[in-house]
Structure 1
Amino acid sequence: MDRPVVACVLAGGIGSRLYPASRGDRPKQFLEFGGTRSLLSRTVDRTAFADERYVLTRESFVDAVHDRAPEAGLLVEPAGRDTGPALVYAAWRLRERFDREPVLLSLPSDHHVDDDAVFVARLERAAEIAAETGGLVTLGVEPTRPATGYGYLVPADGGDALGGTDYDAVERFTEKPDREEARRLRESGAYWNAGIFAWTPTALLREARDSPLAGLVDALEAGEPERGFDAIDAVSVDYAIMERASDVFVTPLPVAWDDLGTWDAVGRTRSNRDADATNDRVAGGILSVDATDNVVAAPDRHVSLLEVEELIVAAYDDRILVAPRESSQRVREVVELLRDRDGF
C-alpha cells in the first residue's frame, strides 16, 4: 500500500467493571493479570508492523503510558468523552502529521487475542480495505456464545459475500442484546463488534460532520479542541458515527478474541485453573471444597471456597468485591456508588 499505516491505541479509560483491581489511579490497561507485561504493552507490541504507533490517553496517565510503551508516540485528549470524541480528535491530530494521508488503525488496549500473527495479518488487510473503499472498516469476530455484553453487527449479505471478497457492507449494528436476541444474531451470521477499526482521517471526519460530533469537528478545524470537547457529551464511536454512516464495512477477525472488560472475561482468558480444574484463579491462592466456576483474583491472599459456584471474588488493597459471575457487567454500578460516597 502506498500510504503510511498508523496504529492508534486507546488507553484513556479506567475500566470500572474490573474494580477493585482497576481504580482511578490504576486503570486496567496498566494491569498485568498473571503475566509480566501490562495489557497496554502487549497491545502496542502487536502493532509493531505499523509505520508509526501512538497511544491516545489522558493527561494524568502520560507518565504511566510512557513507562509501558516508550516506543509509541503520545496523543493527549483534552477531556475524557468516550471513544467517539477521542477517535475524531486522533484523526484530526494525525492527519496533519503526514505529507500523504495515512490509514489509521484504531484499537483498544485491553483485548485478548490468541494468535498475534493472524491478528496482525487481519489488521493489515483492514487497512487495505479502508484505502480501497474510502469507507469505515470494522473487524468482526464470529461469536462463540450468545454473549449479552457485546455489540453485534450484521453483514448486508449475511456473511455470504465474505468468501469471495473477505469484506462486506454492514447492514446494521445491535448493541448488547438480551440472550434470546444474541442467540438469534449468532445463528443468523452476525459478528461481535470488536471495536477495532480502520479508516483514513478524511473518511472519519467526513462521517463525523453528519453526526452528534459535528460541533467537535468544527471546533477542531478552527484550532480550538478544548472548546469542542467542552461542548459535547460523552458518546461512543459506534453510536455517534458507525451506526449512522453510509459506507461501513466488516472484515472477519478469525482468532479467539475477548474484551477484557469484566471479571468473567478475565477469568475465561487470563486465569490458571486451580488444582482440581474447577475454578479460574487470576491471582492469589485457592482452597476449593465443592466449589466450581468461580473467578478468584486476590494477590497476596488465600481464598477458601466452600460449596459456592459462579462467583467473582476479587480483593485488591483494602477493597473486596463478591458478586455473581453473571453480574460482571454491573460492577460499574458499585463504582458509581463508591464515587459518590468515599472515592474510587
Structure 2
Amino acid sequence: MDRPIVACVLAGGIGSRLYPASRSDRPKQFLGFGGERSLLSRTMDRTAFADERYVLTRDSFVDDIHEHAPEAGVLVEPDGKDTGPALVYAAWRLRERFDREPVLVCLPSDHNVTDDAAFAARLERAAEIAAETDGLVTLGVEPTRPATGYGYIVPERSEFGERGDFGVVDHFTEKPDHENATELLESGAYWNAGIFAWTPGALLREARDSPLAPLVDALEDGDPERGFDAVEAVSVDYAIMERATDVFVTPLSVEWDDLGTWDAVGRVLETSADDDAENDTVAGDVLAIDATNNVVATPDSHVSLLEVDELIVAAFDDRILVAPRGASQQVRDVVSRLRERDAF
C-alpha cells in the first residue's frame, strides 16, 4: 500500500469496572493483570507493523505513557468525552502530520489477544480495505459464546461472497440479553471489539453528518477546546458508525477478550491455567477450601475462601471489593457512588 499506516492506541480511560486495582491515578492500561508487562505495552507490540504509532490519552497520563510506550508519539485530548470526540480529534491531528493522507488503525489499549501475529495481519488488512473503499472499517471478532457484555455487528452476508474477506455492515446491536445474544451468535454476527481502520478524511466526512459536527467545525477553525465544549460524551459507534453509509466489517479469527471487567480477567487466566485450577488468582496468596471459580486479586494480602463460589475478591491499597462474579459489569456503579463522595 502506498499510504503510511498509523496506529492510534486509545489509553485515556480509567477502567472503572476494574476497581480497586484501577483508580484515577492508576488506570488499567498501566497494569499487567497476570502479565509481566502492562496492557498498554503489550498492545504496542501488536502495532509494530505500522509506519508510525501514537497513543491518545489525557494530560495527567502523559508521563506514564512515555514509560510504557516510549516508541510512540503522544496525542493529548482536550477533554475525556468517550471515543467519539477522541477519535475525531485524533484523525484531525494526525492528518496534519503527513504529506500524504495516512490510513489510521485505531484500537483500545486494554485487550487480550492470544495470537499477536494473526491480529497484526488482520489490522494491516483492515487498513488496506479502508484505503480501497474510502469507508469506515471495523474488525468483527468471531464469537465463542453468547456474551451479553459486548455489542454485536450484523453483516450483510451476501456481500462477503462478492468482496472476499470483508463485507458491508447491515447494523450494529448494543449489548443484548442472553436470549438475543444467542440468536445473534447463531445468525453469524460478530462481537464489536471497537477496533477500526479509516483515513482521516473518511472519518471527518462522516463526522460532519453526526452529533460531532460542531467538533469538526471547531477543529477546522483551529479551536479544539471549543469543539469539545460543544459536544456531549458519546461513543464513536453511536455518534458515527451506526449512522454512516460506507461501513465495512472484516472478521478477526483469533482468541480475543476485552479486559474491561474482573470476570474477563478471570476468563483470560482460565485459558492459561492448569485444568485443575479451582480459582483464578490475579495476584496474592489464596487458600481455598471448597471454593471454586472465584477471581482473586489481592497482591499484598492473604485471602482464605471457605465454601464460596463465583465471587470477585479484590484488595488494593486500603480498598476491598467483594461482589458476585456475574455482577462484574456493575462495579462501575460502586465507582460512581465513590466519586459522589470524592473518594475514588
TM-score range, shorter chain: over 0.9
- 1:196-237 superposed Cα distances (whole Å, 9 cap, x missing partner): 000000000000000000000000000000000011110000
Quote the Cα distance in structure 1 between the aligned partners of 2:114 and 2:200: 29
Aligned-residue CA RMSD (Å): 1.4
Flag the 1:285–1:235 CA change in 2: closer, same or farther, 3 A. same
* Aligned residue type for 2:121: A
Among all aligned residue pairs of Structure 1 and Structure 2, give the percentage whose two residues are the same amino acid.
78
Q: CA deviation at 1:164?
A: 5.9
Counterpart of 1:146 in structure 2 is 146
Counterpart of 2:298 in structure 1 is 298
Quote the Cα distance in structure 1 between the aligned partners of 2:119 and 2:218: 35
Counterpart of 2:262 in structure 1 is 263
> Pairwise mapping of residues 45-194 of structure 1 onto structure 2 (< 5 A)?
45-157=45-157, 161=160, 165-194=164-193
SS in 2 for 1:252: strand
- Tell me if structure 2 keeps the 8 A contact 1:81–1:234: yes
Quote the Cα distance in structure 2 between the aligned partners of 1:93 and 1:174: 30
Counterpart of 2:28 in structure 1 is 28
Quote the Cα distance in structure 1 between the aligned partners of 2:304 and 2:45: 37
Quote the Cα distance in structure 1 between the aligned partners of 2:343 and 2:303: 26
* Aligned residue type for 2:92: W
Quote the Cα distance in structure 1 between the aligned partners of 2:244 and 2:166: 17
Counterpart of 2:221 in structure 1 is 222
Quote the Cα distance in structure 1 between the aligned partners of 2:163 and 2:200: 28
Quote the Cα distance in structure 2 between the aligned partners of 1:94 and 1:329: 34
SS in 2 for 1:161: helix
* Aligned residue type for 2:164: T
Quote the Cα distance in structure 2 between the aligned partners of 1:142 and 1:34: 25
* Aligned residue type for 1:264: D
- 1:150-207 superposed Cα distances (whole Å, 9 cap, x missing partner): 000100127x726961000000000101111001000000000010000000000000
- 1:81-118 superposed Cα distances (whole Å, 9 cap, x missing partner): 00000000000000011010000000000000000010
- Tell me if structure 2 keeps the 8 A contact 1:119–1:253: yes
SS in 1 for 2:304: strand
SS in 1 for 2:300: strand
Flag the 1:275–1:142 CA change in 2: closer, same or farther, 3 A. closer
Quote the Cα distance in structure 2 between the aligned partners of 1:74 and 1:342: 29
Q: CA deviation at 1:326?
A: 0.6
Flag the 1:329–1:96 CA change in 2: closer, same or farther, 3 A. same
- Tell me if structure 2 keeps the 8 A contact 1:273–1:279: no
Quote the Cα distance in structure 2 between the aligned partners of 1:232 and 1:191: 30
* Aligned residue type for 1:285: D
Flag the 1:79–1:265 CA change in 2: closer, same or farther, 3 A. same
- Tell me if structure 2 keeps the 8 A contact 1:7–1:47: yes
Question: Mind listing any 5+ residue stretches in structure 2 that lack a counterpart?
Answer: none
Deviates more, 1:207-216 or 1:277-286: 277-286
Flag the 1:239–1:221 CA change in 2: closer, same or farther, 3 A. same
Matched, 1:8 2:8: yes
Counterpart of 1:284 in structure 2 is 284
Flag the 1:41–1:163 CA change in 2: closer, same or farther, 3 A. farther
* Aligned residue type for 1:251: T
Quote the Cα distance in structure 2 between the aligned partners of 1:26 and 1:256: 27
SS in 1 for 2:100: coil
- Tell me if structure 2 keeps the 8 A contact 1:273–1:281: no
* Aligned residue type for 1:65: I
Q: How many residues align?
A: 343
- Tell me if structure 2 keeps the 8 A contact 1:294–1:325: yes
Quote the Cα distance in structure 2 between the aligned partners of 1:299 and 1:162: 51
- 1:253-289 superposed Cα distances (whole Å, 9 cap, x missing partner): 1100000000000111146648951111111121111
Counterpart of 2:253 in structure 1 is 254
Quote the Cα distance in structure 1 between the aligned partners of 2:27 and 2:299: 17
* Aligned residue type for 2:260: G
Question: Mind listing any 5+ residue stretches in structure 1 that lack a counterpart?
Answer: none
SS in 2 for 1:121: helix
Quote the Cα distance in structure 2 between the aligned partners of 1:336 and 1:264: 19
* Aligned residue type for 2:57: T
- 1:111-164 superposed Cα distances (whole Å, 9 cap, x missing partner): 000000100100000000000000000000111111111000100127x72696
- Tell me if structure 2 keeps the 8 A contact 1:154–1:189: yes
After superposing on structure 2, the runs of 4+ consecutive aligned residues of structure 1 that deviate more than 3 Å are: 270-276
Counterpart of 2:37 in structure 1 is 37
* Aligned residue type for 2:335: V
* Aligned residue type for 1:268: R
